[in-house]
Amino acid sequence: MATMAGMASRVYADHAATAPMLPAAREAWVAASQHVGNPSSLHSPGRHARRLVEEARERIAGALRVRPSAVVFTAGGTESDNLAIKGLYWARHRDNGAQRILLSAVEHHAVLDPVQWLVDDQGAKAQWLTVDSLGRVVTDDIAEALAHGDVALCTVMWANNEVGTVQPVAEIAALCRAAGVPFHTDAVQALGHLPMDLTAVGASAVTISSHKVGGPFGAGALIVDPTATLTPVLHGGGQEREVRSGTLDAPAVSAFAVAVEHAVTGQEERARHLAALRLDLVSAITQVVPDAVLNGDPGVGDDRRLPGNVHMSFPGCEGDLLLMLLDAAGVDCSTGSACTAGIPEPSHVLLAMGVDPATSRSSLRFSLGENSTQHDVDAIAAALPAAVDRAKRAGSPNLRKL
């Protein structure tokens, strides 16, 4: 069985997929799981479990500087995105008949797919917000779209999971607020990596996920502004303010709270460490593979790119093959894009940025985390030339077809 300790000789550069669980989060999970008790039960063990949940809510609210009642626990980022998109849409549509959903073309599938379902099944209309060549939303388009008045909601992610581009969420939130339109942002990749002042941004709903910040899988939250109205997606016991049903996982949310506090308190130092490593990695890669191309915002010295994100295209290579060759060499990374029926699909994010399909399929994402080191950078740079050489020689049937 592979553990992080057992993988010490490997280089883990896929923190955007999931981050190693923090020892303190694991301890909190183990301590909480020693106790029996449903947080909704009225007896002493139930009240103990309830106390753990409410303490976790207060700790997360404290770290994010929002009211505890704003924190709605869910089973992760995907559920939070679904609750935000469907919940805000249904409430607004019922209220004033609005049908249009504004969304960026670079959203995660946890946002894209619920919107597509609302379009296919519920009569919603999607309006795609274009992005520039760095993957950043063009805010003029939002102002223009909002002027039409039949917008049910707008959703734009805080930072992109593939290319790391940070979106102007404060500006977008202000435009939506002025137009009286609910604004949701998926902050799954931003938490712990970027400064996040939720009060200043003032979004209607913000998605966060536990396993991306060193907490356990299967926990997340939607941070909901008190003025926002959401129609529930899950019906049942109404445990989370009637907005979300399901028995709360007290051990998981306790550990999630530890991870969120850690993510927020260490953010500045982590970002500095990661940004320095990222710049080293980009320059090491371009030294050993001179035709490699960095995608997204160069983001030197500011908050325009996730600090630990390196996303590069390797012309003439097929990304999935390169990934497997690096895997065999002990380096874990990602292509970032989906594979349908075994055929690598070009990334919708890169396509929206104007990258051609072949280049898109030749891309890899290396995402660094707080335990990443200079040794990891050196090991990636050492493994790449042979892998790139083999991938180029193997070619790709899919690329050859183009």
Active site positions, annotated: 339
Nearer to ligand PLP, 193 or 392 (CB): 193
CB 183 within 8 A of CB 218: no
Position 209 contacts ligand PLP (CB under 6 A)? yes
Choosing from 85, 101, 110, 213, the residue that interacts with ligand PLP (CB under 6 A) is 110
Nearer to ligand PLP, 187 or 285 (CB): 187
Binding piece for ligand PLP, criterion CB under 6 A, among 74-82, 141-149, 351-359, 369-377: 74-82
Residue that has been written with the tokens 């004033």 in this structure: 96
Backbone torsion region of residue 263, taken as left when φ is above 0, otherwise alpha when ψ lies between -120 and 50, otherwise beta: alpha
Give, as ranges, the residues between 123 and 162 that touch ligand PLP (CB under 6 A): 157, 161
Identify residue 87 by its one-letter amino acid code: G
Nearer to ligand PLP, 309 or 362 (CB): 309
CA–CA distance, 56 with 120 (Å, rounded to integer): 38
Binding piece for ligand PLP, criterion CB under 6 A, among 34-42, 185-193, 280-288, 380-388: 185-193
Q: How many residues make contact with ligand PLP (CB under 6 A)?
A: 14
Identify residue 129 by its one-letter amino acid code: L
Closest residue to ligand PLP using C-beta atoms? 77
CA–CA distance, 132 with 166 (Å, rounded to integer): 12
DSSP code for 70: G
Task: Give least dist CB 52 to ligand PLP, A.
Answer: 21
Choosing from 78, 99, 359, 372, the residue that interacts with ligand PLP (CB under 6 A) is 78
Position 220 contacts ligand PLP (CB under 6 A)? yes
Task: Give least dist CB 98 to ligand PLP, A.
Answer: 24
Phi then psi dihedrals of residue 167, to 5 deg? -95, 155
CB 182 within 8 A of CB 92: yes
Which residues does residue 210 pair with via DSSP β-bridges, in sequence order? none
Choosing from 186, 249, 318, 320, the residue that interacts with ligand PLP (CB under 6 A) is 186
Task: Give least dist CB 88 to ligand PLP, A.
Answer: 16
CA–CA distance, 95 with 152 (Å, rounded to integer): 10
Identify residue 396 by its one-letter amino acid code: S
- Alpha carbon of 320 to those of 345, 367, 379: distances in Å? 10, 16, 19
Nearer to ligand PLP, 37 or 164 (CB): 164
Residues that bind ligand PLP (CB under 6 A): 76-78, 81, 108, 110, 157, 161, 186, 188-189, 209, 211, 220
